[in-house]
Structure 1
Amino acid sequence: MNAAAETLEFQSEAHQLFQLMIHSVYSDKDTFLRELVSNAADALDKLRLEALRDENLPADVSDLHIAVEIDPENRTLTVRDNGIGMSRADVIALIGTIAKSGTAELRKRLAEAADPAASQALIGRFGIGFYASFMVADQVTLLTRPAGSGEGTRWESAGDGTYTVETAENLPQGTSVVLQLKPEDADDGLFDYTSAPKIKQIVKKYSDFVAWPIRMAGGAEAETVNSMKALWARPAGDVTADEYNEFYQQTAHDWNTPLETIRLQAEGTFEYQALLFLPRQAPFDLFLRERKRGVQLYVQRVFIMDDCAALMPEYLRFVKGVVDAQDLPLNVSREILQQDRQVQLIRRRLVKKILSTVKTMMSADPDKYETFWNEFGRAVKEGLLDDVENRSAILGICSFASTNDPERPTSLSDYVARMKEGQEHIYYLTGESRRGVENSPHLEAFQAKGFEVLVLTDPIDEMWVDAVRVFDDKQFRSVARGEIAFDAGPGAEQEAEFSGLLTWLTTSLSEHVKEVRLSSRLTKSPACVVGDTGDITPTLEKMYRATGREMPQIKRILELNPGHPLVSGLRDAFAGKGDDQVLAETAELLYGLALLAEGGELGDPARFTELLAAHLQKNLPMAQ
């Protein structure tokens, strides 16, 4: 490794983000210290865990702590830990690169943020808290030596787009961040970060629950200025709402307060404590492949890992918090966690508690529930596919748009309570937009009879409706698949009148459809295209093809409205032995109109346009 000093530049996009963040984002400067203390605590956690895994690690773990030192004369503030430390390569990769993923997304979101509070809410999600230091410092120096290594590294930057990295000798184990504080803050008591009372106040506000001692020089010996009390281990009655909020903001790196706080404690054959939070706002990466998920795992208050996926299913990936298990081994691995029976039981109980909490929220605080569902409903519905055990409970907390009220979604329980006399099924229609679904000809007969239909427009809706068959003994039924048997449907006499036309159309359109039949679901439109009961929807078919999955051609069924003048006219023309070419073109146009009416795609738009233009021209009155 080259030990010489290097001067490097931040990546161009990262540099733009760097400047934007420094000058525009933080309105509460105090939070820089929270970010540095949080990083230091992570370094101590990692060293403690590494020492447990490797008994021969040559590192001192006898007095792990965080030190905050102020020097009013030289106007410096130092945050020091004796944790895991970093190598030169680590420094360049982790400190020299801002927001390794999501940089462009953050820049976009910052540009769209209407106020400083909205901007602040984005910081913790992108992992750039270290750079908040430049809100209060003209220069930042980082000195670090990895535990078990003799070679240290010095990193320094003035926030001007470059940084230097060089080898440093005789450094203690761990990391020190030295801030050369801005001179303009010296005369402002609110931002005098060389004031011991000010620093203690910030630590108490933001870092009181850090499990490691945070020490400040004072008198004969250093004073520990945080309580180090694990919030989840204290009796619920002894914890205030503000303490919960502060703990959530610290652990979740979120500027908002949590939407809901959930506590669990289990005793008996295995013991654990859990403190979970439902966020108020979905993270930007909720649906990104690279996202992290899961809660923090502790064993006997010893930090084990962030984002313990084994404790939380994918569809609840937004849940934040801590689980502290008493009986797991301290050197447990992610692979072992996936198979551990105790972890599986904890996970099962956590999931049931979260779902029951949301269920209670639906009735006790509808506004809070609405916020939850708007932010996380799409993710929760993934559980209808992945979590068969809790499928009924998940259905119970779902809300869906419906034709009953265009402004407010409905629960399935409320839908069932409103079902018309004689209605046997829960009707739904999937589509790409609410407007497209509401204008679909498939709804005509249902609207005429006053039957409520669920309007399902999320991509996940296309999949779960085929996996979930029943709610409250009522079957889910698509209004765009299978036959609909309404009382006012075609009778035997109409079937006889149209039989010849239907047979001819089935043959004429055989390239596109597998059957042409009379419809019970149309009242205004001339025709619609429907699927057989077991067919997948066209939208789902497109989704599969977009992922590169090969799909066989699925022919659907063309249904005709026998009461529509266009259809009855076509019947009469066919019975009167009209021109074969005109009949065939009219049949093709009728099928194309049905496709367009449901938002489908024409196989040959140019031919459809040509045919339509020719037919319109024939029916225009000739100029005199």
Structure 2
Amino acid sequence: MSMRRQETCGFQSEVKQLLYLMIHSLYSNKEIFLRELISNASDAADKLRFLALSQPNLYEGDGDLRVRLSCNKTQRTIIISDNGIGMRREEVIDNLGTIAKSGTKAFLKLTGSDKLKDSQLIGQFGVGFYSAFIVADTVTVRTRAAGTSPEEGVFWQSNGEGDYTIADINKPERGTDITLHLREGEDEFLDDWRLKSVIGKYSDHIALPVEIQTSIKKAREGSEEGEEKEVVTWEKVNKAQALWTRNKAEISDEEYKEFYKHLSHNFSDPLIWSHNRVEGKQEYTSLLYIPSQAPWDMWHREHKHGLKLYVQRVFIMDDAEQFMPNYLRFVKGIIDSNDLPLNISREILQDSRLINNLKGAMTKRVLSMLDNLAKDNPEQYQSFWQNFGLVLKEGPGEDPNNIKTIDKLLRFASTYGDSAAQNVTLEDYVNRMVEGQEKIYYITADNYAAAKSSPHLELLYKKGIEVILLYERIDEWMMSYLTEFDGKSFQSVSKVDPSLEKLVNKESSEQKEAKKALEPFVERVKIYLGERIKEVRFTHRLTDTPVVVTTAANDMTTQMAKIFAATGQSSPEIKYIFELNPEHKLVKRIAEIGEDVLFGEWIELLLDQALLAERGTLEDPNQFIQRMNKLLSANSC
């Protein structure tokens, strides 16, 4: 084989680490290498089909796409060949020599973790080609991109250590041939029956013929009796029919699961799936999966959506985000439409009424799948929520048309329980509302402990009224879109509201007299704080706490201001209402201080206490500590 422009290149450092893990048996199930390589070959065929819609010459006269496997027991090699899209030299370097565009860096952060013992992890990081080194000590790739000349073939070879060799070669056929030089002890994969078994197990659903080379002996024509010649034939091993086009009754759960793993390059089983064929005004087939585990890049800005688009069984595109709202971006699957044109463009995908109808139908189907899961298997749904609850919380703001379905799927922590577990439904909450309760009460905070111990809850604890505890950054944003459930509106307990005032017991004559006696104190506090505070007033919503700050019904909350700050946006300054507990001993004693400087120090301390409880931080915590130490040491009150 003539090679030109031959050079030896070093692997990217992350690849070296990855290959080390591969070679040292990261996978507990070695046969999976075959699934990964056949899956890559299938993707190469899909890409060629799509490009050939506008460039038929890419087929180079051979439109029968396939994957072929052949073994050589003498040389101890397996060759996996496809006649798909192939690769150019720069693509080989990008795809096989570096992993800058993959998630492998994130994967390698787990190095040393017990999680590495789980062979399912690797499937989440898009590094399937490197699985070849589980069974091979040397891997050779020969490839040529469709539409290029035979002289533009590329040779790549590595032993999985520090570097690889790359060169230009002649390759008459388009596509890719991968030769695995097996390690000692891996001879089981040189057996045709073993390979057929693995293909049947993992790749039966591939919509592409997977063929194995077989040899049969035939008598030579015109030769003496008994003389035979060896004839090479190709035996198709898989069904080679797109799984979603088959009748549901004929598809086993195991086949559905393996197809999911092929789609997602994930080694774990899906949680649930839905296979649906629609006929009528619009004709399409959908096969949608809910994963059992969140992908590593769920919150990455460039996270890929999980839907593949086919038109009349022809692959059109990966990551078809137009068919699923962003808050359901974890869904994997395919859509195969009979109504869209084969030469579909991204402009059509943006504007087509058919696309909007398909998106609406897909969204409702996924929400229905989740609703059924929540009703039929609450434990499994709780597992789903732990993985994807944060993403689903984006739904109320993004999809107002389906909010009545989404709000039933939400889960919360509340004062009804003693843990941060989010397992309370809004229906649960409404069913437990006490007599006379008008609204669904909630509080937002930086964490569960801060929410549960907030002074805003003191009266509600006393009255036995349940409060939803929200402690994730997205919660405040979500609640700005959740207006009501089952006819009950939502109310933040850190805001002023008449329904909260109604919960306060009617003032006794003694309380009225004490409150009246302290009115000059309130006026003195107002004068001292001036424009820093919106209002100063008494409250009977507190039992153990001397002071608290609240916001007016139409003002921005503390947590919303934090969201603005986290995104680099400026927000209006919050003017709090400073509420004093007239029955608290500390408030009564401070009211008796006549000396203005000392009085001011104590009011500053109380205000900082209230702001610290509300915000979780102070602008100048050191000043707060020094003031507290000074007043405590002076024993002035």
Matched, 1:320 2:332: yes
Give the Å deviation of 1:493: 4.5
8 A Cα contact 1:262 1:277, kept in partner? yes
Give percent identity, aligned residues only. 42
* Count of aligned residue pairs for this structure pair: 609
Unaligned ranges ≥5, structure 2: 217-230
Give the structure 1 partner of residue 598 of structure 2: 582
Give the Å deviation of 1:114: 3.8
Moved more, 161-170 or 505-514: 505-514
One-letter amino acid of the structure 2 residue matched with residue 180 of structure 1: H
Distance 2:69 2:530 in 1: 79
Specify the SS of the correspondent of 1:276.
Answer: strand
- The alpha-carbon distance between structure 1 residues 69 and 276, as it changes in their structure 2 partners (threshold 3 A), is same
Moved more, 146-155 or 478-487: 478-487
Distance 1:112 1:425 in 2: 47
Q: 2:613 aligns with which of 593, 597, 611?
A: 597
Distance 2:171 2:277 in 1: 47
Matched, 1:112 2:124: no
Specify the SS of the correspondent of 1:177.
Answer: strand
RMSD of aligned residue pairs (Cα, Å): 1.9
- The alpha-carbon distance between structure 1 residues 58 and 283, as it changes in their structure 2 partners (threshold 3 A), is closer
Cα deviation digits, residues 415-439 of structure 1 (max 9, x gap): 1011000000000001121111111
8 A Cα contact 2:205 2:240, kept in partner? yes
Matched, 1:175 2:176: yes
Distance 2:390 2:518 in 1: 45
Q: 1:560 aligns with which of 564, 580, 584?
A: 580
Cα deviation digits, residues 430-463 of structure 1 (max 9, x gap): 1121111111111100100011000111211110
Q: 1:277 aligns with which of 252, 266, 289?
A: 289
Give the structure 2 partner of residue 217 of structure 1: 213
Specify the SS of the correspondent of 2:296.
Answer: coil
Moved more, 15-24 or 236-245: 15-24
Matched, 1:615 2:614: no
Specify the SS of the correspondent of 1:330.
Answer: coil
Give the structure 1 partner of residue 141 of structure 2: 142
Specify the SS of the correspondent of 2:327.
Answer: helix
Listed as ranges, the matches of 1:340-419 within 5 Å are 340-407=352-419, 409-419=423-433
Distance 1:358 1:600 in 2: 36
Distance 2:365 2:513 in 1: 59
One-letter amino acid of the structure 2 residue matched with residue 306 of structure 1: D
8 A Cα contact 1:436 1:599, kept in partner? no
Specify the SS of the correspondent of 1:251.
Answer: helix
- The alpha-carbon distance between structure 1 residues 313 and 60, as it changes in their structure 2 partners (threshold 3 A), is farther
Distance 2:531 2:301 in 1: 39
One-letter amino acid of the structure 1 residue matched with residue 10 of structure 2: E
One-letter amino acid of the structure 1 residue matched with residue 211 of structure 2: R
Give the structure 2 partner of residue 43 of structure 1: 44
Cα deviation digits, residues 561-609 of structure 1 (max 9, x gap): 1111011222233xxxx00001111100000111223353222222222
8 A Cα contact 2:311 2:337, kept in partner? yes
Give the Å deviation of 1:254: 1.4
Cα deviation digits, residues 243-278 of structure 1 (max 9, x gap): 111111221111111111112221001111111111
- The alpha-carbon distance between structure 1 residues 489 and 29, as it changes in their structure 2 partners (threshold 3 A), is farther
8 A Cα contact 2:297 2:303, kept in partner? yes
Give the structure 1 partner of residue 523 of structure 2: 503
Distance 2:183 2:586 in 1: 80
Cα deviation digits, residues 315-351 of structure 1 (max 9, x gap): 1111111111112112213332122211211221111
Specify the SS of the correspondent of 1:249.
Answer: helix
Distance 2:97 2:61 in 1: 27
- The alpha-carbon distance between structure 1 residues 579 and 342, as it changes in their structure 2 partners (threshold 3 A), is same
Cα deviation digits, residues 205-238 of structure 1 (max 9, x gap): 1111111111111245211111022222222222
Distance 1:102 1:41 in 2: 21
Specify the SS of the correspondent of 1:217.
Answer: strand
Give the structure 2 partner of residue 189 of structure 1: none
8 A Cα contact 1:110 1:122, kept in partner? no
8 A Cα contact 2:270 2:291, kept in partner? yes
Q: 1:518 aligns with which of 515, 538, 556?
A: 538
Specify the SS of the correspondent of 2:30.
Answer: coil
8 A Cα contact 2:137 2:183, kept in partner? yes
8 A Cα contact 2:103 2:126, kept in partner? no
Matched, 1:256 2:268: yes
Cα deviation digits, residues 368-403 of structure 1 (max 9, x gap): 111111111110110111001011110011111111
8 A Cα contact 1:385 1:464, kept in partner? yes
8 A Cα contact 2:558 2:614, kept in partner? no
- The alpha-carbon distance between structure 1 residues 75 and 357, as it changes in their structure 2 partners (threshold 3 A), is same
- The alpha-carbon distance between structure 1 residues 555 and 88, as it changes in their structure 2 partners (threshold 3 A), is same
Distance 1:44 1:366 in 2: 41
- The alpha-carbon distance between structure 1 residues 422 and 480, as it changes in their structure 2 partners (threshold 3 A), is same
Matched, 1:335 2:351: no
- The alpha-carbon distance between structure 1 residues 24 and 580, as it changes in their structure 2 partners (threshold 3 A), is farther
